[in-house]
């Protein structure tokens, strides 16, 4: 039998249904790999071994019946931004290092209802602010393809855990590329759904108009399985959209002949690594051989996405993080002399440098005299970027280009240069500003490091994106490669 951790989520699901192995055997296999390898990666903040085995035992009993839910017995890891009832939920921050969530986020709740077994909570950039998973209070996560490299962020712990086969799948969140960029840097399939497609209830907010929950998996088929459980309207989330959820699995095998692909002109201009550009173009050529048509598309306002994002996102983070004040929950300083001292020291001790930087930036752009000059203007540019995408989708079915300007970079290489770090999200931010679904799939290797192809679609076109990604993965094996030290 193929090693359990070499199998995709879909293959493991079939194996459980055929009773080739039990959920307890599968869960213990992954827990043993976590114990063996995570000291190298630092991908986990919390491992819930005891509750995972209990859940696996219950799953095995459920699998003996004829009506077991779709994901019964499948192990999974949650990014530590999702509230998980009775489990430490830290957001990668000292501020929440003692916070035990009193309820489940909707994503956690729905996946549990579908039968998953939670292995633990994955490390992440503090409050999802970062592009390299170096801002976590719990230390940086290492990329399993090269332990000297970053895995990308902010969902770097989720990505590293899946890439090293410590879990078959993980949840993540994407505010400006935080699922797609780590997926590209670790050789995974990362899906950011349309804003409002997956509930944000119980997902600790960074930038409320941008944050979206999604998946990190080996394949598009695996992502379709998870999305079938996660997607759908939630009355508890005011940003949730009440539209029907399609059958993502049944759409996977639709032919790609006649597909119109928009080649994003701006993505292939200065700044893109030469080897990454070559691999992305080779992937596009494969789509042509499958019957798709390439059409060059220009989004003239897209180069403004980074400065626009770094006004809008810090402004919203400044508002959202004001609740962490040392009064109700989270870190509280010792022996405050008065209320002002409590606020100052609790926040000063609880937040790391990157979070402080963004709070101060956001507070500035929202302040009297600067709101119109910065925040309001950024929102107007955001509208222009969304209009560019809308015009493009009147002529093409999907847009494609690189996910990241370069493969994974060295840990520490950009941590002292925030602007250079922010530019790592230059290709991903536009989809968040426009609320569009987007995903990254592996399309080759630059040396030993993975490179990602990004696919962007119109609102609520996740089924089409998964179909397009699945068609490519049926013809290639990049998603099957495993980092050498973790085989």
Mean pLDDT along residues 285-314: 96
Q: How far, in Å, CA of 238 to CA of 250, rounded? A: 30
- pLDDT band with cut points at 50, 70 and 90 for residue 132: very high
Q: Per-residue confidence at 304, pLDDT binned at 50, 70, 90?
A: very high
pLDDT at 215: 98
Has residue 275 got a pLDDT over 90? yes
Percent of the chain with pLDDT over 90: 95
User: For 96-107, how does the pLDDT look when each residue is reduced to its tens digit (9 = 90+)?
Assistant: 999 999 999 999
The reported pLDDT for the residue numbered 422 is 86
By residue count, the chain amounts to 487
The pLDDT value given to residue 368 = 87
The CATH class given to the 4-260+395-486 domain equals alpha beta
Catalytic site positions: 79, 154, 178
- Distance, C-alpha 221 to centroid of its chain: 17
Q: How confident is the model at residue 270 (pLDDT cuts 50, 70, 90)?
A: confident
Q: Residue 416 has what pLDDT?
A: 87
Element (H, E) at 386: helix 377-392
295 has a pLDDT exceeding 60? yes
* 260-264 and 398-402 strand pairing: parallel
d(CA 158, CA 140): 13
Could you tell me the two tokens for 327? 């009064």
Task: For the beta carbon of residue 450, count every other beta carbon within 10 angstroms.
Answer: 27
Our CA angle for 284, 285, 286, nearest 5°, is: 90
Residue 392: pLDDT above 60? yes
DSSP characters over 306-335: HHHHHHHHHHHHHHHGGG-SSSSSS---SS
**pLDDT, tens digit, for every residue of 24-81?**
999 999 999 999 999 999 999 999 999 999 999 999 999 999 899 999 999 999 999 9
The domain limits of the chain are: 4-260+395-486, 303-378
Q: How far apart are CA 278 and CA 130, in angstroms?
A: 27
pLDDT (0 to 100) of residue 418 = 86
Number of Cβ within 10 Å of residue 170's Cβ equals 31
Checking if the pLDDT of 248 tops 90, the result is yes
Query: Does the pLDDT value for residue 1 go beyond 70?
Result: no
Residue 77 tokens read as 């890891």
Q: Is residue 357 very low, low, confident or very high in pLDDT (cuts 50, 70, 90)?
A: very high
Q: What percent of the chain has pLDDT over 70?
A: 100
Residue 328 burial by Cβ neighbours in a 10 Å radius (0-12, 13-18, 19+): exposed
What order of strands is seen across the sheet that includes strand 293-297?
44-47, 117-122, 75-79, 169-173, 213-217, 189-192, 438-446, 449-456, 398-402, 260-264, 293-297
pTM over 0.75: yes
As a dihedral over the C-alpha atoms of residue 456, residue 459, residue 462, residue 467, rounded to 10 degrees, the angle is -60
Residue 404 has pLDDT above 60, yes or no: yes
Give the confidence band of 14 by pLDDT, cuts at 50, 70, 90.
Answer: very high
Quick one: pLDDT at residue 347? 96
The pLDDT, as a whole number, for residue 57 is 98
Cβ atoms within 10 A of the Cβ of 416, count?
A: 8
Give the pLDDT confidence score for residue 141 in this predicted structure: 98
- For position 398, what pLDDT does the model report? 98
Report pLDDT digits (tens) over 149-170. Answer: 999 999 999 999 999 999 999 9
Contact 406, 431 (CB under 8 A): no
């Amino acid at each position: 039998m193929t090693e359990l951790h070499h199998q995709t989520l879909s293959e493991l699901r079939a194996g459980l249904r055929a009773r080739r192995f039990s959920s307890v055997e599968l869960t213990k296999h992954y827990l043993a790999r976590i114990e063996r390898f995570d000291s190298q990666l630092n991908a986990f903040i919390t491992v819930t071994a005891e509750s995972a085995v209990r859940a696996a035992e219950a799953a095995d009993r459920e699998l003996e019946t004829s009506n077991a839910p779709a994901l019964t017995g499948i192990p999974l890891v949650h990014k530590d931004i999702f509230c998980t009832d009775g489990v430490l939920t830290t957001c990668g921050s000292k501020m929440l290092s003692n916070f035990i969530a009193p309820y489940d986020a909707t994503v956690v709740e729905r996946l549990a209802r579908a039968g998953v077994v939670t292995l633990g909570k994955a490390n992440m950039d503090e409050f999802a602010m970062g592009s390299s998973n170096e801002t976590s209070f719990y230390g940086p996560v290492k990329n399993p393809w090269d332990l000297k490299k970053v895995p990308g962020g902010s969902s770097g712990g989720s990505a590293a855990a899946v890439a090293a086969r410590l879990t078959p799948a993980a949840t993540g969140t994407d505010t400006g590329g935080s699922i797609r960029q780590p997926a590209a840097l670790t050789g995974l399939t990362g899906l950011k759904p349309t804003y409002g497609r997956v509930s944000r209830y119980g997902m600790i907010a960074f930038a409320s108009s941008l944050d979206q929950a999604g998946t990190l998996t080996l394949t598009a088929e695996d992502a379709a399985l998870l999305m079938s459980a996660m997607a759908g309207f939630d009355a508890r989330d005011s940003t949730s959209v009440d539209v029907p959820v399609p059958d993502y699995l049944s759409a996977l095998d639709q032919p790609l002949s006649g597909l119109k692909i928009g080649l994003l002109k701006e993505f292939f201009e200065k700044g893109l690594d030469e080897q990454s550009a070559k691999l992305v173009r080779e992937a596009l050529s494969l789509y042509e051989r499958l019957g798709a048509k390439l059409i060059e598309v220009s989004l003239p306002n897209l180069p403004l996405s980074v400065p626009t994002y770094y006004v809008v996102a810090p402004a919203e983070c400044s508002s959202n993080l004001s609740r962490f004040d040392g009064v109700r929950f989270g870190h509280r300083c010792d022996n405050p002399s008065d209320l002002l001292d409590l606020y100052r020291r609790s926040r000063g001790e609880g937040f790391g440098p990157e979070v402080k930087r963004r709070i101060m930036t956001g507070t500035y752009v929202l302040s009297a005299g600067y709101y119109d000059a910065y925040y309001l203007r950024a929102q107007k540019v955001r509208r222009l970027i969304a209009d560019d995408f809308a015009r493009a989708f009147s002529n093409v079915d999907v847009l494609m280009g690189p996910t990241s300007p370069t493969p994974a970079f060295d840990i520490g290489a950009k941590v002292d240069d925030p602007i250079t770090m922010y530019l790592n999200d230059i290709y991903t931010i536009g989809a968040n500003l426009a609320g569009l679904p987007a995903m990254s799939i592996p399309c080759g290797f630059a040396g030993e490091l993975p490179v990602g192809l990004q696919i962007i679609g119109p609102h609520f076109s996740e089924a089409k994106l998964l179909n397009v990604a699945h068609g490519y993965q049926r013809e290639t094996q990049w998603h099957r490669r495993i980092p050498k030290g973790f085989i």
